[in-house]
Amino acid sequence: MKKIAAGVLALAIVFGAAADGAFLDSSAIAASAAAYTEEELKAKVQEGVEYELTDWSYKDYDGDGAKEGFALFLYEMPQTLHQHVVIIRYINSNGEVTEVVNKEKLTMVPSYEHDLSYNGTEFAVFTFSGGGHSFDVVFSVENGVLLKTR
């Protein structure tokens, strides 16, 4: 459905340009109609991170018909006892990456727990635990923009 809408938009651009006497080349039309696949978003969110992807959530969080992703990268630091490098990134359907957590020597280990839904809004829940304590960090998306709710 998203690709059909992008194709219709590309046609509207072409016909609008033709009415103005200007024409777009085919590469511009193809670029406007292109959509990222889940694998492309995964690869893009991992750019510049030397650690493996530990957890991944990919769904339409804001109900706009486009899927977004949350990625968790976790690395246990071998030279220390129970300390980790933690990176959590969000990527929207346009491929724009937001890094929401980047911590070294973190003793609380995060995990992507689950998604939850409330009043039609989807939330990604990350639980940090260690040393007998735990807390949740909850994210959602509104109009393609990342929201941290707690």
Q: pTM for the complete prediction? A: 0.70
What pLDDT is stored for residue 52 in this prediction? 85
What pLDDT is stored for residue 121 in this prediction? 81
124 forms bridges with which residues in the sheet?
115, 139
Q: DSSP letter for 47, please.
A: T
CA distance 18 to 99: 41
Tens digit of pLDDT at every position of the chain (150 positions): 444 444 434 434 433 444 444 444 443 433 334 579 999 999 999 999 999 899 999 999 888 889 999 999 988 877 766 788 889 999 999 999 999 988 888 888 777 777 888 887 888 888 888 878 888 888 888 888 888 765
Maximum CA extent, the chain: 69
What pLDDT is stored for residue 120 in this prediction? 77
What pLDDT is stored for residue 17 in this prediction? 43
* Residue 150 CB burial class (10 angstroms; 0-12, 13-18, ≥19): exposed
